Structure 1
Amino acid sequence: MKNIHYRGRFAPSPSGALHFGSLVAALGSFLRARHCQGLWLVRIEDIDPPREVHGAADDILRTLEAFGLHWDQQVIYQSQRHHDYQDQIADWLAHQQAYYCQCSRQQIRSRGGIYNGHCRQQQLDSGAIRWVNNQGCDHFIDQLQGPIHTDAAFAKEDFIIRRSDGFYAYQLAVVMDDIAAGITEVVRGADLLEATVRQISLFNALNAAVPDWLHLPLACQGPGSKLSKQNHATPVDKSHPQPALNAALAFLGQPQVEPCGEVALMIHQAIAQFDLESIPKQKEILLPQ
């Protein structure tokens, strides 16, 4: 019987095929949800068309299925939620809780690298849109990494919620999507640890329950160099998933499972053996060369 009170998710961007690093994130979030007897949802984060690869979203879904990672409920696409994002931004603009900004990255760097609210009182009507950050959360407790503290100036920065090119910013979309889906715990890669404080601020501003956070170690080619679609990480082989599945389990500190022909049996065993305390409590792990 499913625990309807636990709702986890995996939210890939369709900028390329699923690679080992994203498989680790998918598997970790899936095992955590299933171990808690909860629901596991999938959301395609397709709000940045210039970075998207045609057919990647469908390929990611087929890869998840090939690895036995079957989601509950209907797949959500951020591209279908633009109206909700815009309504919220319009409300904030109307109540002086957001404003237009025309500062360039170079200008912000010249002022110290943290945006100082330069355009807040200028009453512009074009450019990027920034949220008035009166929350300023600078710390939280991660279920794996422990207490996390960030720079106070970063935490209090008025960050962008809609880019100057008209595309919606990740911070706003991900929070509104998690609220709409009722997500109770976010399991994802440790590259998003710092961004979490901004998301907590938005949850609070929207009077929504803040989920628990669990940030998994990143699979890295070298120090500070995570596997990514941008650096052309090799896609996992969905036609022969057993080796990559066991490699991902090992990366997460979980026992190996018998590489039998049935991936479903391997996943069933992995769920039964899942131990959160065995996941390495570090932000990145270097892969063998």
Structure 2
Amino acid sequence: MSSRPVFRFAPSPNGHLHLGHAYSALLNADLARQAGGRLLLRIEDIDVTRCRPDYEQAIYEDLAWLGIVWEPPVRRQSDHLDAYIAASAGLAAMGLLYPSFESRTEIARLVAAEEAKGPWPRDPDGAPLYPGSARSLSADEVAELKRSGAPMALRLDMAGAIARVGALVWREQGSGPDGETGDVAAQPAAWGDVILARKEVPTSYHLSVVIDDALQGVTDVVRGQDLFWSTSVHRLLQALLGVPAPVYRHHALLRDETGAKLAKSIASTGLRELRKEGATPADIRRLVGLPPQE
């Protein structure tokens, strides 16, 4: 196994890349080069309803135009579902997964009922924690719901998982939204019983990213601050599954003139649009605040 640092850029092919993606990709490439390390490209395409082959092809074209060189092969998550299913099976064997059967509409109704009584906790992204009672279902009730074809998600028993591994930290070389850096205490309980798989897609972002980083030997995860507190869940899964924890570096997000983070729907910041208008790779580096490439 090589001792060289391993970085990765992992976009989702659900739209065209924008300046925010360019910043993250270029930063990963710069840091990998400065460290004498390797840069991998991963396509996170488990969202079958939004990911498209033409967007994936556009990612390759945009990154090549920027001058970014990655080490083949490209890992496409949709080609590795068996690895995520195996990880889920391991967690289930520990008694840490349980099925829930509410639709998104039903969950919204349950949350509304709870909020009518008083404040209901929300995760770091602002989404309400799971309010259902699926953990109390009997084996017969679970079997009947499965037979009925009800929507099903596999959730992590967060309290049980935390009790199993105890307190955790991760090493942060960047910073969090409030300046957190160094050894950061993971706070996975803030996310509640997160979904790790669904009936229609046997994995989730949280599960697949942890498995991918481990299997690819990623040592340095460089990504936006919007994923800072997601690292709490990732650190917990790493401990449960017995895989190494990378070093993390969360960077500030590029924002538009209103202060909102850049989105794929904003054409004015899209790399393809900027290229058509005559922008050069050097212009992109300047626009995202990176120094000229040496």
TM-score range, shorter chain: 0.7 to 0.9
Give the number of equivalent residue pairs.
254
Which of 180, 190, 198 lines up with 1:154 in the alignment?
Answer: 190
User: What is the CA deviation profile of residues 198-234 of structure 1, one whole-angstrom value per residue up to 9, with x for unaligned ones?
Assistant: 0111111111110000111111115662112245564
2:157 paired with 1:132: yes
Which structure shows the bigger proportion of residues in helix conformation? 2
User: 2:211 maps to which residue?
Assistant: 176
Q: CA RMSD in A?
A: 2.7
**What TM-score results when the alignment is normalised by the length of structure 1?**
0.78
Deviations 1:168-203 (A, max 9, x none): 210001110000000001001111111111011111
Instruction: State the alpha-carbon separation in 1 of the partners of residues 56 and 256 from structure 2.
Output: 25
Contact 1:219 1:227 in 2 (8 A): yes
Structure 1: gaps of 5 or more residues = 258-266, 270-289
**Structure 2 counterpart of 1:228:** 263
Match in the other structure for 2:134: 119
* Residue 31 (structure 1) aligns with: 30
| Residues 62 and 251 of structure 1, relative CA distance in 2, 3 Å threshold | closer
Offset, 1:37: 0.5
Distance (Å, rounded) in 2 between the aligned partners of 1:239 and 1:250: 16
Q: Among the aligned pairs, what percent are the same residue?
A: 28
Q: Secondary structure at the match of 1:9?
A: strand
Using a 3 Å threshold, how does the CA distance of structure 1 residues 247 and 59 change in structure 2: closer, same or farther? closer
Specify whether residues 152 and 90 from structure 1 end up closer, same or farther in structure 2 by C-alpha distance, changes over 3 A only: closer
Distance 1:64 1:83, change over 3 A: same
Matches within 5 A, 1:37-48: 37-48=36-47
For 2:196 and 2:188, how far apart are their aligned partners in 1?
Answer: 19
- 2:284 and 2:32 mapped to 1: Cα distance? 20
Task: Give CA deviations for 1:218-271 in whole Å, capped at 9, x if unaligned.
Answer: 11115662112245564214578864544435634x43x3xxxxxxxxx4x0xx
What SS does the corresponding residue of 1:199 show, helix, strand or coil? helix
Structure-to-structure mapping, 1:136-285, within 5 angstroms: 140-145=170-175, 146-147=181-182, 148=184, 153-155=189-191, 157-222=192-257, 225-232=260-267, 234-237=269-272, 238=275, 243-249=280-286, 251-252=288-289, 254-255=290-291, 257=292, 267=293, 269=294
1:105 to 97, 104, 107: 107
Q: CA deviation at 1:140?
A: 3.6
> What SS does structure 1 have at the residue aligned with 2:7?
strand
Check 1:181–1:152 CA distance in 2 against 1; reply closer, same or farther (3 A cut): closer
Gaps of 5+ in 2: 115-119, 121-127, 147-151, 176-180
The answer on whether the counterparts of 2:20 and 2:288 sit within 8 Å (CA) in structure 1 is no
TM-score with structure 2 setting the length: 0.76
- Range with greater deviation from structure 2 (104-113 or 125-134): 104-113
Cα deviations by residue, 1:53-84 (Å, 9 ceiling, x for unpaired): 34111110121111110001310000000111
